[in-house]
Structure 1
Amino acid sequence: MADQMSSMMDYEYHDYEDEYTPLDGSGDRRKTFKKKKLSSSSKKTSRLPPPSETTYRGKNYGPNSYKERGCCACLCRCFSCWTLIIILAMLWTTWLTLWLTTTYLLGPSTPSSSTPGAGGGDGDGSDGGGLGGTDGVAYMVKVPYEIASKTGAFCLDGSPPAYYIRMGEHSGTDAWILHLPDGQWCYNATNCYQRSLTPLGSSSNIPEVIPTPGLLSSDPQVNPDFYNWNMVQFHYCDGASFSSNSPYELSISDDSVIYQRGSAVLESIINILLNKTSFGEAKRIIFSGTGSGGIGVFYQADRVKSLLPPTATYHALADSAFYTDSVNRSAYVHIRIQFQRLFNLHHMLESLDSDCTQTKVLAEPGSGWKCMFPEYATKYIQTPLFIANSKYDPWSIWNILSMRCYPQDCPELSPLMERFGADVSSKIQAAGMPDADGFFVTSCYTGDLIGQGWDQVSLEGTDVMVRDAFSTWYLRRTSEEGGEQKRSGDRERAVNSTVSTPANVVASEEGLNVTVTVPPTLPKDYRFIDCASSMMCNSQCNWSRDLFKLVADRLQAMDDFYIPVNH
């Protein structure tokens, strides 16, 4: 199996000819693209952002396309043109009659909502944004192109930003979760162009509806503390954790460009929410993210806070994103070099914390890229922060440690993996977080802790799950700040004291009874660390070969940038 997985995984992605050169203190440098000289008759004008969503990349899907003209000509050969016009008019009249009857006489076919903007699926952001309700899904809304173009807030392909929204209800109507999803990065210009042809670089062909698991769930049994909150998931389409910040179009060929505007995309969506929904009246806001979205939380937490209503309590939750500045299994500073390339390619200097970058650059010219690593950047974050992370995060094991074999198939590498896990744990503890911040560090081979792992991953020998650790930390912080009322006195006492045995608490809200299990032995500082005796010390973790292969297949299918020989 090891040989099979090794042969399947041993490849290397090389396409560095069109990258930025590493920043060395002398400013931004970009290798010049060589273009063929065009004659005056064939010279092309530079492509500007498309005027509508139907003409991205120069394609025209309008009614005058060749195929439609061909169909009409063919029909006209079979029938007289007047006959054809009459038939089409009758069909259109029939359809319009049925539509009017269904819409205005029979009523909508789906449950309506009293929330503004709750009547449409693919909104344009001008009516309050998306559908309401608590049906466990969120609905897509696109930022109008005219608004996006004012600030140049484009996805990689030039399409406007988008987001998914589910409106809250009852006590959650003034509470919001803003979530940045995972989606990896693109590592050079060609790689970013390839991504721009997919939903990870465009909003032109994305799902109308997405599920909302974990922290975003509307199920009170899964998510008892936040199930009825407003939920917004930003569509990830810049390839740089919503932190690319180039004012220029990056040419890929004579007629293709990409836009690196993740920072503007993030701001444009927040502005739409402030202007078109009740978000401006929010009293509680959680800014969360997973994976590449989670590291975006490290980068953008304070900046997002500056855009929000000053009356709202604001907290950040970074999941599976504490990527460390560590050497790989060959003692090579591989991830550091990749982060330097990303930093320059995506013009990230202005998107990172200015206190951090200025400090690093003063100490060592050209070292602003260090603020991409949470271990250096965390102490500069002013926002109350909670970190959820695994010592053996699959992406980190795969791409930082460069270990790509099932541990039992390469036992000689297991000590390296255990040392890596201990290094991650120690760096989180030493990251300079204020005493009031918290974290949950598991020893399971898992990512997406606030998604699928929200009510599944727990610490060895306890019932403490990710949701319990974060919820108790969050409720304590908001209690101290006077920003949130508790659901019950029992829940409040559990948050503000250490309990030694599990206790079931029933919270009643709007006639809905929710049973909440308070985990045992909650530490007073709300910093949860799993066992450390061995790599597989938590008996509740899944270290099966099937899981490892499933994760390996998923990671291999993603954008990759380096794989060493063997394993």
Structure 2
Amino acid sequence: MNKIYTGILSAVCLDGSPPAYHYAKGFGEGASNWMVYLEGGGWCKSEDTCYSKVQNQGPGMGNSYKKGNQTAFDGILSPSQTMNPNVKIHRRGARVFKAIMEDLLAKGMRNANNAILAGNSAGGLATILHCDGFRALIPNAARLKCIADAALFIRGKDLPGAADKRELSFATIVAFHGIDNFLPKSCTSKMDPGLCIFPENLLGDIQTPIFLLNSAFDSLQVSSCFFQNLLLELNSYILCIHFRTTLLKTIPEDHSSSRGIFIDSCYYHDQIYFNPKWIGPTSPKLNNKTMSEAVGDWYFDRSSFQEIDMENDFPRDCTRDT
């Protein structure tokens, strides 16, 4: 694990610790090929929710919480952060990204032949937001593309909870972290910044080739963000169909080979981060290709790929090889 020491007032994680990332140096034919992966893990939108991530050592912390140390001090004298929290929340994600990119460029990424920026869930949304900027960092790369998995968080203005849940939640994230100026001007010049974090309002302006992988029945959005388990309580597939129709409408039409699309009907969230979904026997297939085959052919310009599962109107259980 590499830690980046950038000074207390510069790039630090939520808990104030130095940012860190895992680094595996390429070798052989892959020595000049790079992939930067932004792992998912959700967002925090208030001091309380950010502190909860710090307390539970979720994504956003460079240090690991040390357990097992016993002490005679307890109650108000306890050194435990759980007992007596005193953590200042640092919102410097953009600085962390910049610091890590500079470190990787110095390690040789600036001379990359092939490069990929990829991510899943919240990291997939960050991939969409940083895609063109990433290409600008490595202008001489022969091939540079982005892959966004499970990142199509939709506004869904015609779906339940559009204004009071999804729009409010994302607007709160934008305001709390103060990222208005980091969002594309092509979007913020036309609409409220809180709406410019939704991929449906961003994808049309991305110039760098990007591949979108998502489930048409994204389990996170269907069960949590949208219907909050009403789907199970009402046993209503109508809501699922409505979500699927709405999600597909949010993908801007782009028939060029630079835009890759793989939209399956599996009832899950995140796909490329787990081997069984990415390349294993339970990996869904579209046009007789697994995700890994579709992305590989698209990335190396062997063939274009834009496929949506139109045969399944309902969510599928893709956890078994059936």
TM-score (ref. length: structure 2): 0.84
**Amino acid across the alignment from 1:182:** G
1:285 corresponds in structure 2 to: 115
SS of equivalent residue, structure 1 residue 259: coil
2:256 corresponds in structure 1 to: 435
Q: Distance in 2 between matches of 1:266 and 1:384?
A: 21
2:37 corresponds in structure 1 to: 179
1:458 aligns with 2:305: no
Q: Distance in 1 between matches of 2:225 and 2:147?
A: 22
Match for residue 15 of structure 2 among 157, 163, 173: 157
SS of equivalent residue, structure 2 residue 226: coil
C-alpha deviation, 1:171, in angstroms:
0.8
Structure 1: give runs of 5+ residues left out of the alignment.
1-139, 208-252, 361-366, 477-494, 497-524, 544-567
Deviations 1:530-567 (A, max 9, x none): 1344204x6x7349xxxxxxxxxxxxxxxxxxxxxxxx
1:266 corresponds in structure 2 to: 97
SS of equivalent residue, structure 1 residue 288: strand
For the 8 Å contact 1:152–1:264, the answer to whether it is kept is yes
Q: How many pairs does the alignment contain?
A: 297
Structure 2: give runs of 5+ residues left out of the alignment.
67-83
C-alpha deviation, 1:174, in angstroms:
0.4
C-alpha deviation, 1:403, in angstroms:
3.7
1:445 aligns with 2:267: yes
For the 8 Å contact 2:159–2:243, the answer to whether it is kept is no
2:88 corresponds in structure 1 to: 257
For the 8 Å contact 1:281–1:309, the answer to whether it is kept is no
Equivalent residues in 2 for 1:24-423, closer than 5 Å: 140-144=1-5, 148-149=6-7, 152-197=10-55, 198-205=57-64, 256-275=87-106, 277-327=107-157, 330=160, 332-333=162-163, 334-360=165-191, 367-404=192-229, 407=232, 410-411=234-235, 413-423=236-246
Deviations 1:225-248 (A, max 9, x none): xxxxxxxxxxxxxxxxxxxxxxxx
Deviations 1:108-165 (A, max 9, x none): xxxxxxxxxxxxxxxxxxxxxxxxxxxxxxxx11112xxx128710101111110001
Q: Distance in 2 between matches of 1:388 and 1:206?
A: 34
For the 8 Å contact 1:389–1:442, the answer to whether it is kept is yes
CA RMSD of aligned residues (A): 2.6
1:541 aligns with 2:318: yes
C-alpha deviation, 1:391, in angstroms:
0.6
Deviations 1:489-532 (A, max 9, x none): xxxxxx35xxxxxxxxxxxxxxxxxxxxxxxxxxxx51011134
For the 8 Å contact 2:45–2:177, the answer to whether it is kept is no
Q: Distance in 1 between matches of 2:228 and 2:58?
A: 29
For the 8 Å contact 1:398–1:404, the answer to whether it is kept is yes
User: Sequence identity of aligned pairs in percent?
Assistant: 25
**Amino acid across the alignment from 2:263:** V
C-alpha deviation, 1:341, in angstroms:
0.6
1:528 aligns with 2:316: no
Equivalent residues in 2 for 1:456-535, closer than 5 Å: 456-459=282-285, 463-476=288-301, 495-496=302-303, 525-535=304-314
Deviations 1:214-268 (A, max 9, x none): xxxxxxxxxxxxxxxxxxxxxxxxxxxxxxxxxxxxxxx9964211100110010
C-alpha deviation, 1:353, in angstroms:
1.5
Deviations 1:21-71 (A, max 9, x none): xxxxxxxxxxxxxxxxxxxxxxxxxxxxxxxxxxxxxxxxxxxxxxxxxxx
SS of equivalent residue, structure 1 residue 355: helix
For the 8 Å contact 1:378–1:433, the answer to whether it is kept is no
C-alpha deviation, 1:199, in angstroms:
4.0
C-alpha deviation, 1:281, in angstroms:
1.8
Q: Distance in 1 between matches of 2:171 and 2:263?
A: 27
Q: Distance in 2 between matches of 1:394 and 1:187?
A: 22
| Larger CA deviation: 416-425 vs 328-337 | 328-337
2:75 corresponds in structure 1 to: none
1:515 corresponds in structure 2 to: none
TM-score (ref. length: structure 1): 0.49
* 1:150 to 1:202, Cα distance in 2 relative to 1, 3 A: closer
* 1:312 to 1:351, Cα distance in 2 relative to 1, 3 A: farther
Q: Distance in 2 between matches of 1:375 and 1:398?
A: 20
**Amino acid across the alignment from 1:286:** I
SS of equivalent residue, structure 2 residue 269: coil
For the 8 Å contact 2:159–2:242, the answer to whether it is kept is no
